[in-house]
Structure formats: structure tokens, C-alpha cells
Amino acid sequence: MIDLEVPKKFVPLVKQAAGLADDVFRPISRKYDLAEHEYPRELDLMSAVIDGLQDSGASQGAGARTTSASENSPSGVGAGKRAAVSTGNKNGSNLSSVLSIMETCRGDVGLTLSIPRQGLGNAAIAAVANDEQKARYGSKWAAMAITEPDTGSDSGAIRTTAIKDGDDYVLNGEKIYVTSGERAELVVVWATLDRSLGKQAIKSFVVSRENPGLKLMRLEHKLGIRASDTAAFSLENCRVPAEDLLGDPEIRIEGGFGGAMQTFDNTRPLVAAMAVGLARASLDLTTQILEKAGVTADLAAPVHTQPYAAARLIQLEADYESAYLLALRAAWMADNGKPNSMQASMAKAKAGRTCVEIALTCVELCGATGYAERELLEKWARDSKILDIFEGTQQIQLLVVARRLLELNSSQLK
């Protein structure tokens, strides 16, 4: 049974991540929001500290780093594959990543996404790579390229092609909205081996940023998470060794898309954690601002007897708590070998929607202070929206949940 307390072995990690949010991220958050596309040099030293802790076994890691074969052991790091089913209670790398990301995103979501070698592509590798590939990519920073100009939420409609040519695959297509695409060393590219076969032919390939066939077209200017670079790429006769195809190279008509989709089972709880962290930051700062103005929420009193601002804070705290618990459940299930696709989508849907509502409401409750740049509330409101969009939009998450509950496939419920 899931334990709702933070496991004792993760307490040092959570404290370290909280210190990182308060002492490193918050002080430079506005700086890199204004200096979009400028690399946060302060993260280099922090990354070295994380590496040292991981090498010593003192840390579980601060993000979605690729893990070794022992990824679900107490000394593993990052979000890894689902553990083998056990009768005990395992608190492993998925839960540790969620807890640490919640803390770092109290400081800044964009900076969290900019931590070297902690990219969403690393979680994709952890989900479907074999042991040899994990060892080969383990020390590198990987971005993930799924979205295309004509393909957003429907990952099965990907048009980027991968054609086998001798010992290589030749990739052609275009990818947009690639988080950390410019800075990462690797890009996990989703492509189809045969467009006529739909989802079953979708595979993921690890492509080096130095590959001449992978061309950076532009960096996006964005509403939020400006500290994180977001790239667009074209793939023009991009040759990738066959050994860099992740997972099974064969096209499986039954369940062939499952390996690729397990990536989302790993990354959606991480994005939910980002949303939970930003929501916590907004609530904490708003509570402080309102208390200075003489408005304090009384949790022991009926909501309808309290001032509007206090009543809204209580309602938002309740929404926050449900999002927090759903994120923990999805990660815990992965650590304990339980299928978590529906729960991962529930967590992502609830956390994304709640994060946006909390951030915007906190701006409203704080009035001019919330709207001005004197505080980070307006920035958090801008940052929040992406957390309801990437790794699958709100609508897609609800569709996944509905299919699971009704036991229908994608062709039966669209």
C-alpha cells in the first residue's frame, strides 16, 4: 500500500532540491525569464554537485536521468522503467524524481528543464532502451522530439519517416517544440517505419546533435518557461545507426505502439510534478502577501464564513492536495510494477488544470502585486500554461482515462 509520507531515504534529496529552489533558482528566475535563450551558467556548478552525489550514492537525482540496470534500487537515479511486480512496497527512482522535481519547480520550471542531462529524452531512453543503450547514453543529455507541424496530440499520426538502409536508418521529416533541443547532446526522435501501418510502426531513435542530417531551424520565443530553450528541427537524409533504435526494431501489429507509449507513462508523472511544484510556490507566496494585508485563512472555520480571498485559498489548497496525491500514486505504481497509464494521465490532467487555475487565481487575489513584475506570480502564471499542454494536452489525458475506464481502444473511442 502506498505510504503518503515522504520516505525517510528521500528526505535528504527533498531538502537538497528545496534548497536548490530557494537559493539558486529563485534568485536568477527573473534574470533568465528576461534573457530568453541565454544559457543559465549557474546550472553548470549545480550539475557537477548532482553528479558527485549520484556517483557517491547519496542522491536519487533531480530529474529524468537515464538509469542503469539497477535503476529501481535505492542507488538508482531518475525516472526508470517500471519495476518487476513485487509483494512489498518499493519507493524507487520514479517517486524520488517526482518528489525532487516538485521542489525544484517551486523555484523555476524553465531552469528545472535546463538542468544538464536531466531531459525528458532521458526518461524516454529509460522507458524503452536496452541495458547496452542505457550504458552508452547514461552520461548524456537527451531531448525528446515528438511534435510535428501537422501532428500535435495524435502521436500515432507522425509523418517523419525512418527507412532501413543497410546498417542504418535514414530519417526525414520535421520536428517542432523540442524542449532543450539546442542544448542537449542527443535528441530522441519519433518516426514511422511505415506510414500505412499507423501507430504500430512508430519507433524512437537516438540522434546525436552533431549529426549533419539533424538541422536546427529556429528557437521559439515563448509565453513562459523562457529559461528553457525550445527548438525546431528538420531531418534531411539523417543517417542513424540501427543500434540507436530504441526497443524492438520489429513492427508488431498487436501492441506495437506500447513500448513507445511507455515513455509517456514515465514522463507524465514528471510533468504533473512540475505543475504541483509551481502551484505550491504560487499558493505559498499568495498566502504570505494576503497575511501581510490582514487576510488569513482559517482551516477550522466554514468556508462560507470567511472573506472571499481566504475561502478561495482553502479551495485551491484542496485542489492542490488532490493533484499532489495523484502524482505520487502514478510514480509509486511505476516503482512497484503496476500498470500506470491511466493513473499517469489522471495525474497529468489534474495537475496541469489545477496549476493553471491556481497560478491565475493567485494573480487575481494579489491584485496589482500579482500582475506586476515586482513578484514572480505573473511569471508563474505564464509558465503554468505549458504544463497543461506538453506531454499530452488536457483533452488527450481525459481521452486516455476514458478509454481505460471503458476498456475501449483508440479506434473505438476517438
Task: Check residue 230 and give its pLDDT.
Answer: 97
Task: Check residue 248 and give its pLDDT.
Answer: 81
The secondary structure of 137-150, three-state, reads HCCCCEEEECCECC
- Distance CA(108)–CA(131), nearest Å, equals 33
**Bridge partner list, 178:** 231
- Distance CA(106)–CA(25), nearest Å, equals 9
- Could you give the residue range(s) of every CATH 2.40.110.10 domain in the chain? 142-246
List, for residues 78-134, the tens digit of each pLDDT value: 455 555 555 568 889 899 999 999 999 999 999 999 998 888 888 888 888 999 999
371 burial (CB, 10 Å; 0-12 / 13-18 / 19+) is: middle
**Bridge partner list, 205:** 189, 245
Q: How far apart are the first and last CA of the chain?
A: 34
| Superfamily name and number for 8-137 | Acyl-CoA dehydrogenase/oxidase, N-terminal domain (1.10.540.10)
The 10 Å Cβ neighbour count of residue 2 is: 14
Report, as residue numbers or ranges, the catalytic residues. Answer: 391
List, for residues 128-183, the tens digit of each pLDDT value: 899 999 999 988 999 999 999 988 777 778 999 999 999 999 999 999 999 999 99
What predicted TM-score, i.e. pTM, was given to this entire model?
Answer: 0.90
- Distance CA(172)–CA(234), nearest Å, equals 8
- Could you give the residue range(s) of every CATH 1.20.140.10 domain in the chain? 258-406
Write out residues in the chain with pLDDT < 70, as ranges: 1-2, 47-88, 252-260
Asked whether 233 and 62 are in contact (CB, 8 A), the reply is no
Largest CA distance in the chain: 73
Helix (H) or strand (E) holding 263: helix 258-292
* Topology classification of domain 258-406: Butyryl-CoA Dehydrogenase, subunit A; domain 3 (1.20.140)
Task: Check residue 48 and give its pLDDT.
Answer: 63
| Superfamily name and number for 142-246 | Butyryl-CoA Dehydrogenase, subunit A, domain 2 (2.40.110.10)
**Residue 39: helix, strand or coil by DSSP?**
coil
- Could you give the residue range(s) of every CATH 1.10.540.10 domain in the chain? 8-137
Task: Check residue 69 and give its pLDDT.
Answer: 27
Asked whether 120 and 64 are in contact (CB, 8 A), the reply is yes
